[in-house]
A and B are shown apart, each in its own frame.
Chain A
């Protein structure tokens, strides 16, 4: 096989490079800048150009990094390598690796809904497809994001009427920008946590056109109805005090389940995910035309059994160190 599954990650022996390795390697191709896909300590990185500044922010300015555009091709010892939009977060890519008659697509994390922020997901024909399965159960079917945002705006309006602010937990890379973009369009006043602000700065530097709300300053008066966007880990610190009184909401695919809404203790949960839902995953797998499907992080065993029995594919589970969207949102920045 062109790609093998090693204890360091997916390895292409012919081109001598790894994809999203979790242990140090000489050459790594990175699908996206989230921490469980983009680890420290590799000799050389190759990623999409929008991922570049965020990776430098997170991994150090001095990493050896080369970037590509979607669709741009590289040839490494006869192996054709290219990146294709994954729609997960800005800069996220599916990695296509082709050699002789094998075409592999390692999709990293992806979602099929166009969120207006990232370049939308594009199916890529292949013979071997590696897919995530974070929400790979028919329990998970996302509603259109506009519906979720309109509920969110309604909730924020209700809080404002009570003289309260809205504190929304979201990952600082991806989810935060998605929320900012949607709320900004409705003129909602937004403040962000420092980690969101830094990420925004890096994305602006990469050329992404996004609103850039401020962080809070010490003496600032905060008008009721302000939205504060911060990673869930920030909600456990004193930093939140100055925003009181506020209602807490969380934006995560796990919020689709009543049980996890309670576990995360959020007053309001909004089922908004940067991962594909059940229909999205199935559609994505089928659109590749691949007969060999490798299912990674999530409900891998169940999803691959379904692909095998119902769709007649040759699907199997592959163990990785990826975590997807964690049901424990305090495990920040792993998605």
Chain B
């Protein structure tokens, strides 16, 4: 663990990608094989499920530290990270624990079938043999919430450089279903045989920030509606079909209609597209699709209420050949042929939007919401299919968000990065009787200077405190932007918004000028 913990510390202490890469390469040169495999697994989100109940962990840590449970809970909230919180609360350890990362992971894996008392003994033993930083890393492993400042891309680049392979080859080999417990370094990275289920890394677009004219000639670009569903990759190889999410999780079981069809198994191709709830030849709202997500099994009634299709927009592999290097227009032609001849109701072509000029496209863009789309995807006709998020050939051009002016009524101390400061705010609008009704929380979108100024203001305008939350005088007005709005029975206001954030602190406005609940309700009608 010491070696792995040192790697995490090195990655944590620098923002330079060069230094992160150096640290990773050094680690992959020096660490034992089983540890290297586990490290790749953890950095690519292949962590085992949580094996210890975290309530128990907090209780054990509290007992060891001689602190009541309520205090542990408060500390957790303030630190914003349970692993860090518990590592800090525990009494000092002796640093004698010599378990390797792989040995730790094996140990953790064995806990599932054990009695809590036995697990407690094992956890306490390890805790007391570790430094504070090792404990932090260990806690991340047992709580299953492992995140480090290493992008998939950085990991791939480091391994590729070390092994003298191309980035794309490494990315492909790391993708898909493999288990760190049973995979060797050779099988994972050096074996050229490809597992049939393996997916290609997704090509992701950046938001369009420049003017359309800067993209060049309109005839060099495709425009497609940007669908409000989830990205998927349908892999049909060797008579088997697998469906992957953008997070590289296998979601076949959640969408039987996209995977359990003989004709799909015969496609022998890899298709990139958007999964949407679909009815009467048009998309249904995202909330409908949501009922299909995150399930192990999907019931017949859910499938009936939320039928899905995939709108295909790219072809990555065709008849066993990786065609990502071909220009987009060639891939598109092959995709169109393939779908035409297959003629499958659940696998549709995402249509191109034809346009002669950028001006025309701008006009069409204003119709996005009527099309049930979030805007356009712009893709260069000659572009290859690339790996990861890249600028240049693909752009997402989203519709402008909805915005309203609302007043801050509660402030909550942030946690994690912003512990000690008020950063999470609750906003209200007026109802018909001019009462303030909270409708959303938001915590991002302001500059550090604005946060500082608002924190000073809060100190002098607090009405009441309850734990980390305080109510403040309803004076500060903010412009709140969000991507979507729907009805909600769970919220007092009766509306729920998606991706809310503060776009501006409206120092020029008073609380009398904010929007109303009625304004929000009208937006539901329009969306």
Chain A residues in the interface with B (C-beta under 8 A): 137-141, 254, 256-260, 262-263, 267-268, 299, 301-302, 305-306, 309-310, 323, 326-328, 330-331
B295-325, CB under 8 A of A: which get 1 and which 0?
0000000000000000000000000000000
What is the CB-to-nearest-CB distance from B445 to chain A, in angstroms, rounded to a whole number? 15
Interchain nearest-CB distance for A255 vs B (Å): 11
Which B residues lie within 8 Å of A141 (CB)?
A: 88
Contact of A139 with B455 in the complex, beta carbons under 8 Å? no
Chain A residue with Cβ nearest B416: A259
Asked if B465 CB lies within 8 Å of chain A CBs, one says: yes
Asked if B467 contacts A301 (CB within 8 A), the reply is: yes
In the bound complex, CA of A309 to CA of B455 (Å): 30
A-B contact pairs, 29 of them (CB 8 A): A137-B71, A137-B78, A138-B65, A138-B88, A139-B75, A139-B85, A139-B88, A139-B89, A254-B420, A258-B12, A258-B81, A258-B136, A259-B81, A260-B418, A263-B418, A263-B419, A263-B421, A301-B465, A305-B70, A306-B71, A309-B68, A310-B68, A323-B459, A327-B418, A328-B448, A328-B452, A328-B455, A330-B448, A331-B456
CB atoms of A330 and B85 under 8 A apart: no
Nearest Cβ distance between residue B485 and chain A, in whole angstroms? 31
For window 247-274 of B, CB contacts with A under 8 Å fall at none
**Which of B12, B74, B448, B467 interacts with A137 by CB under 8 Å?**
B74
Asked if A327 meets B78 with Cβ closer than 8 Å, knowing A267-B13, A267-B15, A268-B13, the reply is: no
Asked if B455 contacts A257 (CB within 8 A), the reply is no
Please count how many residues in chain B sit with their CB below 8 Å of the partner chain's CB atoms: 35
A68→B68 CA distance, assembly (Å): 42
**What distance in Å separates the Cβ of A304 from its nearest Cβ neighbour in chain B?**
12
| Bound Cα distance A258, B452 (Å) | 20
A254 to B80: give the CA distance in the assembly, Å.
13
Q: Is the CB of B81 within 8 A of A138?
A: no
Identify 4 new A-B residue pairs, CB closer than 8 A, beyond the known A258-B12, A260-B419, A263-B418. Answer: A258-B416, A327-B419, A328-B448, A328-B455
Report how far A137 CA is from B417 CA in the complex, Å.
Answer: 17
Give A253's nearest chain B residue, CB to CB.
B420
Interface residues of chain B: helix, strand, loop or mixed (majority): helix
B162 part of interface (Cβ distance < 8 Å)? no
B68 touches A137 (CB 8 A): no
Q: A138-B89, A139-B75 are in contact. Are A260 and B420 (CB under 8 A)?
A: yes
Question: Nearest chain B CB to A155's CB is how many angstroms away?
Answer: 9
Cα distance, A140 to B456, chains bound together (Å)? 24
Q: Which 3 A-B pairs have the closest CB atoms?
A: A327-B420, A259-B416, A259-B417
A300 to B328, CA, bound (A): 62
Is A259's CB under 8 angstroms from B71's CB? no
Q: Are B78 and A139 in contact (CB under 8 A)?
A: yes
Does B441 interact with chain A (Cβ within 8 Å)? no
Cβ-based interface call for B14 (8 A): yes
Bound-complex Cα distance A259 to B88 (A) = 13
Q: Which residue of A lies closest to B451 (CB)?
A: A328
* Interfacial chain A residues near B68, Cβ < 8 Å: 306, 309-310
B79 within 8 A of A: yes
Cross-chain contact of B418 among A259, A306, A326, A330 (Cβ < 8 A): A259
Cβ B419 vs Cβ A254 within 8 A: yes
When distances are taken between beta carbons in the complex, the residues of chain A under 8 Å from B136 are 258
A300 — nearest CB in chain B belongs to which residue? B465
Q: How far is the CB of B75 from chain A (nearest CB, A)?
A: 5
The verdict on B84 contacting chain A, using a C-beta distance below 8 Å, is yes
A257-B79, A257-B84, A267-B15 as given contacts; A138 in contact with B67, CB under 8 Å: yes
Chain A positions within 8 Å of B80 at CB level: 259
* Interface status of B58 (Cβ within 8 A of chain A): no
B415 is an interface residue with CB less than 8 A from chain A: yes
**Of all chain B residues, which has the CB nearest A309?**
B68
**In the bound complex, how far is the Cα of B69 from the Cα of A309, in angstroms?**
12
Q: Interface digits, B74-107 against A, CB 8 Å rule (1 contact, 0 not)?
A: 1100111100110011000000000000000000
Within 8 A of A (CB), among B164-185: none
Most buried by A among B75, B419, B448, B451: B419
Q: Which of B79, B452, B467 contacts A330 (CB 8 A)?
A: B452
CA distance A256 to B78 in the complex (A): 12
Q: Which of B70, B84, B88, B421 contacts A328 (CB 8 A)?
A: B421
Q: How far is the CA of A285 from the CA of B432 in the complex (A)?
A: 53
Contact (Cβ within 8 A) A262 B417: yes
Q: Which residue of the partner chain B has the closest CB to A236? A: B449
A267 to B10, CA, bound (A): 12
| Closest chain A CB from B464 CB (angstroms) | 12
Complex Cα distance A309/B420, Å? 24
Which residues of B, 406-430, contact A by the 8 Å Cβ criterion? 415-421
- Taking the closest CB of chain B, its distance from the CB of A134, in whole angstroms, is 9
Instruction: Give the shortest distance, in Å, between A65 (CB) and chain B (any CB).
Output: 28
Q: A137-B74, A263-B418, A267-B15 are in contact. Are A256 and B465 (CB under 8 A)?
A: no
Q: Give every chain A residue within 8 A of B418 (Cβ-Cβ).
A: 259-260, 263, 327
Smallest distance from the beta carbon of A300 to chain B beta carbons, Å? 10
- Point out the residues of chain B lying under 8 angstroms from A259, CB to CB: 79-81, 84, 415-419
User: B85 contacts which chain A residues (CB < 8 A)?
Assistant: 139
Looking at B65, B71, B415, B420, the one whose CB has the most chain A CB atoms below 10 A away is: B420
How far is the CB of B366 from the nearest CB of chain A, in Å? 39
Q: Shortest beta-carbon distance, B248 to chain A, in Å?
A: 26
Q: Which residues of B sit under 8 angstroms from A258, Cβ to Cβ? A: 12, 81, 84, 136, 416
CA distance A267 to B455 in the complex (A): 24
- How many angstroms between the C-alpha atoms of A252 and B418 in the bound complex? 14
Inter-chain contact A257/B419, CB cutoff 8 Å: yes
**Chain A nearest Cβ from B101, distance in angstroms:** 20
CB neighbours of B67 from chain A (8 A): 138
Q: Within the assembled complex, what's the spacing in Å between the Cα atoms of A259 and B84?
A: 10
